[in-house]
Amino acid sequence: MYLSELAAYAILFVTVIATFINPFIGLLGYYTLSFYRPQEVYWWSLGGSNLSLYVALAAMLAYFLKRKTARPFKTKSVNQDIFMTLLWVFITIATLFSMDFEKSWNIYYSFSKVILFYFFLSSMVQTTKRFELLVWVTIGCFTMHAINANLDYFSGAWAQSGTIHGPGIQGGVFWDRNALAMIFVVTLPLVFFTALEKKNIYVRIGLAAIFLVLVHAILITWSRGGFIGMAVVLLFCFLKTPKKLLTVALLIVFIPIFFRLWGVESRERVASAFLDEEERDASAQGRIEAWVGGLGMMEARPIVGFGFGNYGEYASYYNPSAKPKRVAHSSFLQIGAENGVGAMICFILLIFVSMWNLQKLMRYYKNKDPTLSAYSNMIFVSILGYSICAIFLSIEQFEPFYFLVGLTAGLKKLKQIQISSELESEK
């Protein structure tokens, strides 16, 4: 037995025991395992193990056994819960009527766990401290992936596969370079706004270094969707920066350094992807053909769709010009073709309602609690970055997105708790 395997199961045992003392520890443990992916990082010893499932089961059991102390404040459902539930219903129907039930069921099983933990997460964010701990877990896990990506780049290890990829072997959750770029894009606002709120100079310097590591990690993925998402996120971060002149001065210093570290080959690859007319046209045409096939699928089965994992099998049937065995390169078309128009509408509304809720929370907390206002802004920018990328990438099953939506629901329920506490104190 490998040392990494012994360490993993020892930590798992301690986490499960601690979860029965405090279910929130199980929530932290679940997202740590789900985001860090030790079974893929240490694939030679932990490959095939589903550590997060054990923590998830322990967390849910502990929550129901200790629900009075785990959730001392009663909160009402938020409008996001409605669309999340409807999305789950439509996806369940699509899976039952799938063109390939076995393939769809495996994806449905994993995705159901993601949705289930959305509800668990939203009910457990009862204090600002808990919210911050969840954010720190996310930053820590995705920073480790960014560091590994940079190490692969500077060591030349990426040359073996021809591109930077995530942990594990092909088929891993974050293995694809577009998925890898996405986790870095949604982490940028978490790092930026946390740094703005923290007063400790050493914490700020550390977060600034992490921010630069994440930006460089996005650049070396060569993901066009990642670049677009990063550009939007950086623009919004700049607009929220209190010291814009200092930021401009730092950019003048760091941009040349970044271009130097980026390397000639990387710059040429990106320039070719964006500027080479032949490559750009071929990529754009490929996406259009895939989208046309997806529209044909939605027209053929608008209610039940074709089921998870079947886009590549049938898009070329409805549009012979589309390449077979390819994804839609659009989350909205992918989820609509595979799970029906109803699922696509719920997915879109989930994004818009979450961003609408965050806008209202920003205004509500602006004078009452500037920190929570900043955190609401932080999640808003992360979801915005995801949404822009989702237009061009098939990332509809991307768990960090549902995590962000869960944090949004949690912030809204935290508002309910604070209002209830204020009313109690006035009596």
For residue 71, pLDDT beyond 60: no
156/16 same-domain check? no
pLDDT category of residue 423 using cuts at 50, 70 and 90: low
CA Rg value for the chain: 22
- 48 sits in the region (left: phi over 0; alpha: psi -120 to 50; else beta) called left
pLDDT in tens, 380-401: 999 999 999 898 888 898 999 9
Where is the domain boundary, 33, 53, 72?
A: 72
Residue 164: the pLDDT is: 83
327 and 201 housed in the same domain:
yes
Burial environment of residue 404 by CB neighbours within 10 A (0 to 12, 13 to 18, 19 or more): buried
Q: How confident is the model at residue 361 (pLDDT cuts 50, 70, 90)?
A: very high
CA 90, 96, 102: angle at the middle one, nearest 5? 125
- pLDDT of 62 over the 80 cut: yes
In a shared domain, residues 106 and 157: yes
Q: Helices in 222-326 by DSSP H: which ranges? A: 224-240, 244-262, 264-275, 277-300, 311-318
Residues 250 and 155 in one domain: yes
Judgement on whether residues 98 and 129 belong to the same structural domain of the protein: yes
Give φ, ψ of 118 to 5 degrees: -60, -50
Question: What is the C-alpha separation between 298 and 294, in angstroms, rounded?
Answer: 6
Q: Which residue has the higher pLDDT, 300 or 123?
A: 300
Q: What integer is the mean pLDDT of 302-310?
A: 94
Based on the domain organization, do 15 and 57 belong to the same domain?
A: yes
Number of domains in the chain: 2
Residues 51 and 155 in one domain: no
What residues make up the domain containing 350?
80-426
Same domain flag for 217 and 314: yes
In DSSP notation, 142-197 reads: HHHHHHHHHHHHHHTGGGGTTS---SSSTT-TTTSHHHHHHHHHHHHHHHHHHHHH
Say yes or no: 293 and 333 in one domain.
yes
| Same domain as 87, residue 41 | no
Q: Average pLDDT in the 36-44 region?
A: 83
Digit-coded pLDDT (tens) for 206-226: 998 999 899 989 988 888 788
Mean pLDDT over 24-50 rounds to 86
Secondary structure (DSSP) of 167-178: SSSTT-TTTSHH
Contacts 24+ apart (CB under 8 A), 157-166: 158/220, 163/221, 163/222, 164/217, 164/220, 164/221, 164/222, 166/40
224-240 and 370-390 are packed helices; what angle lies between their axes, rounded to 10 degrees? Answer: 160
pLDDT of residue 187: 96
What is the spatial distance between Cα 177 and Cα 195, in angstroms, rounded to a whole number?
A: 27
Does the pLDDT at position 344 exceed 60?
yes
Domain end point (choices 72, 103, 132): 72
Which of residues 21, 40, 72 is at a domain's end?
Answer: 72
pLDDT-derived band at 279 (thresholds 50, 70, 90) equals: low
Indicate the range of 139-143, 220-224, 229-233 predicted with least confidence: 220-224
Average pLDDT across the chain, whole number: 84
**345 and 210 within one domain:** yes
Q: What pLDDT digit, counting tens, does each position of 255-272 carry? A: 676 666 655 555 565 555
12 lies in the same domain as 94 = no
Q: What is the pLDDT of residue 381?
A: 94
User: pLDDT band for position 305 (50/70/90)?
Assistant: very high
pLDDT at 312 over 90: no
